[in-house]
Amino acid sequence: LSDARNAGIRIAKGEYIVFVDSDDSIAPEMIERLYKAAQLANAKMALCNVLCVDENGLPTGESSGSPIQNECLLAEQVLPRFYQEKGTFYIVAWNKLYHRSLLCEKTFPVGKWHEDEFVAAQIIWKAERIACIDYMGYHYVTHRTGSIMSARNDVRHLDALEALLNRYQFYQEV
C-alpha cells in the first residue's frame, strides 16, 4: 500500500492530492468541498468525516459520534485528537485533501501496515493549519473479507506500535 501511495505522489500532476483505497468510495462533491474549505481557511490540508459502510455500501452505524466539526485548527490542536474516541479519523490518509507540498515521493514507509500512522503527525505539523468539515464525504468499507485489516492475527499489526513509538519520538522533537 505504501508503494502505491508513494507512486501516486510521484506521478501526480495536480496541486492537491487525495487518497482513496480500492474498496472505498467518496461522495461526488467530497474533493470540491475539501478544496473550498482549505481555500477559505488558507490551509494546506482539509479533512472530512467518514461514513463507515458494509460491503454493499450500507451504513454500519460505526460513524455515529464522528469527531470532526466545521472548524479550522492549528496542528497543535489536531495532534491530541489522535488519542480521543474515533481519533483514527484524524490519522488515516484517506479522508483528506493534501497540498502536494506536504508530501514527497517517499512519504509512506515501504512494507509497513498502518503506514499512515507513521507519518500523520509530521504531515499535520507541516500543514500548520487544517480545515475540518463535518461532512461524511469518505465512505469507508469496514470488515471487508480479505482486506489487510481483517487479518486479525497477523504480526504486521504490530507496525501500529512502531508507528506510535515514532510519533512519540516526533513529539519529543517538536
Average pLDDT score over residue span 147-164: 73
pTM of the model: 0.89
Grid coordinates representing 21?
A: 483505497
- For residue 34, which of 57, 16, 22 has the smallest C-alpha distance? 16
Which parts of the chain fold into alpha helices (H)?
A: 2-11, 30-41, 75-78, 88-91, 115-127, 159-173
What is the tens place of the pLDDT at every residue in 60-72? 988 888 899 999 9
Residue 65's pLDDT is what?
A: 80
Q: How confident is the model at residue 137 (pLDDT cuts 50, 70, 90)?
A: very high
What is the tens place of the pLDDT at every residue in 86-113? 999 999 999 999 999 999 988 999 999 9
Higher pLDDT, 145 or 137: 137
